[in-house]
Amino acid sequence: MRLPAPNLNGTKNFLSAHLAQNILTYVSKSPETNFPRLLTLVKLLAIQERHKRMVETVAAVYRENPAIQEYINRLARKLHPNVRNRLAYNWFMNAMVFGIPKQRSMSQKLGVNVPNFILVDPTSACNLACEGCWAGKYSAKNSLTPERLDRLFSEAKELGIYWMVFSGGEPLVYPHLFDLMARHQDMAFMAYTNGTLINEKMADKIVEVGNFTPAISLEGWRERTDARRGPGTFDRAMRAMDLLRERGAAFGVSITITRENVMEVTSDEFIDFLVDKGVIYGWTFHYIPIGRNPNVNLMVTPEQRAYLAERIPYIRTHKPIQIADFWNDGELVEGCIAGGRRYFHINAAGEVEPCAFVHFALDNINEKSLLEVLRSPLFAAYQKRQPFHNNLLRPCPIIDVPQALRDIVKESGARPTHEGADTVLKGIIAAHLDDRSREWGRVADDIWAERHRQKKAGGF
């Protein structure tokens, strides 16, 4: 299929983009000197006092924290100019600086919440068959057409959304992926990928398109990764990282944390290894019993989750890498981000789900516009309950407040999107989630109370 010639957004200010890219080049030449100078300029230009204070905070962190300073310097020096000028600009300027205000404006104008990004599966096909895959029960034969994806990206930009995340399946088996990203050069794209398809040719394409960053899935070291993903997977992922690092691509990791690997993937040795490989960010996801062969015994214990609530923030401030904890970082994002509040999921059949792990839907993107699916009663039922708990360490309606998910599905009339999706609502798995939510609640409430006691004592 051949897409029509790109028609870049005419409303964008070319001179502004060109100036910003020149500034990025200037900073990259001597980040230790030029990054603080840039922040001084930004502070002078900032109109609102809160923006000036934000710049002061960034400057102080850069000046006082060696790990953050090393991280920013590494980004400035190591990224290929094409990646720096497209991905960095699109994500920071288009998706954040320009995009978020437009999202808020469109939300007020249209009377519907506009999220920050969309998670979409171009295809459910995959070259691996990982044990416990969250998407393992979807049909492997589904794919979205490139025409519908092209239109989705255009619809998104009209609402101020310039950040798209791919999952699957394996996104890199989708034949139209790079054509679509090249067509929408003003957007930032990320993909969760097993990395096994990234060879020399594809690594070159990633740098050439510029606005794309892959997050390569790992379970820990070779033995644990290969046990879940198949023999040789770890070595192929390492080869992919080497190829990307050599070319100056921006790439990260995606780690499913289980009861069995929690200490391994958060160890100093493993984190330092990732930094040496060139990884610049990481997404960590606590195992959720959904998809292929769900196993509640793989869920992290309350004690392990409490450890992660301390360990991941420590890594962010003591290592030159940024790692997110999808559940324990609820305080940073004010609770659950799903259900169209900050993001939602479109699977490869086009079914619009509130979350990658909540496999229920009412609408299909193949039958409706983006704006129409944002008006979904399923999303409305989600958003009126968010945050699901006043303790933001208990943000999730699957594992923290499971009764909320039952109420949402019942109220909206949403249907399961594959066989077994409703086991999180009833039966043995649901009963385990109820028990675990209570166990974690007791631990989380103690942590929450202590954190706020310390903030109050510190005058925050």
Tokens 């923030």 belong to: 313
What confidence score (pLDDT) does residue 19 get? 61
Per-residue pLDDT tens for 434-453? 999 999 999 999 999 999 88
**More confident position, 135 or 15:** 135
**Cα separation of 234 and 228, whole Å?**
10
Query: What's the CA gap between 398 and 289, in Å, rounded?
Result: 10
The sheet with strand 252-257 has its strands ordered as 322-325, 281-286, 252-257, 212-218, 188-193, 163-166, 118-120, 345-346, 352-353
Angle at the Cα of 20 from the Cα atoms of 15 and 26, rounded to 5 degrees: 125
- The answer on pLDDT for 323 being more than 60 is yes
Strand-pair partners of 355 = 358
- pLDDT confidence bin for 37, thresholds 50/70/90: confident
Distance CA 278, CA 246 (A): 9
Cα–Cα distance measured from residue 383 to residue 377, given in angstroms and rounded to the nearest whole number:
10
pLDDT level of residue 198 (50, 70, 90 thresholds): very high
**What CATH number should be reported for the domain whose range is 99-375?**
3.20.20.70
132 to 38, 146, 173, 294, 424: CA distances (angstroms): 46, 29, 21, 6, 15
Tally Cβ neighbours within 10 Å of residue 171. 24
On the question of pLDDT at 300 being above 60, the answer is: yes
CA-based nearest residue to 31, from 421, 320, 312? 320
Q: What is the model's pTM? A: 0.93
Q: Do 114 and 160 form a contact (C-beta atoms < 8 A)?
A: yes
Q: Please name which of 324, 320, 337, 333 lies closest in space to residue 277, comparing C-alpha atoms.
A: 320
Q: 74-83, 271-280, 334-343, 350-359: which has the minimum mean pLDDT?
A: 74-83
At 350 the pLDDT is 98
What mean pLDDT, rounded, does the chain reach?
A: 93
Residue 8 has pLDDT above 60, yes or no: no
Smallest Cα–Cα separation from 336: which of 246, 410, 415, 398? 398
Higher pLDDT, 109 or 47: 109
Mean of the pLDDT values across residues 335-352?
98
pLDDT for position 7: 47
Please give the Cα distance from 50 to 43 (Å, whole number). 10
Distance from first CA to last CA of the chain, Å, rounded?
56
Contact 103, 159 (CB under 8 A): yes
Tokens for 55?
């710049």
pLDDT computed for residue 179 by the predictor: 98
397-409 tens-digit pLDDT: 999 999 999 999 9
Residue 12: pLDDT band by 50, 70, 90 thresholds? very low
What number is the average pLDDT over the span 87-107? 89
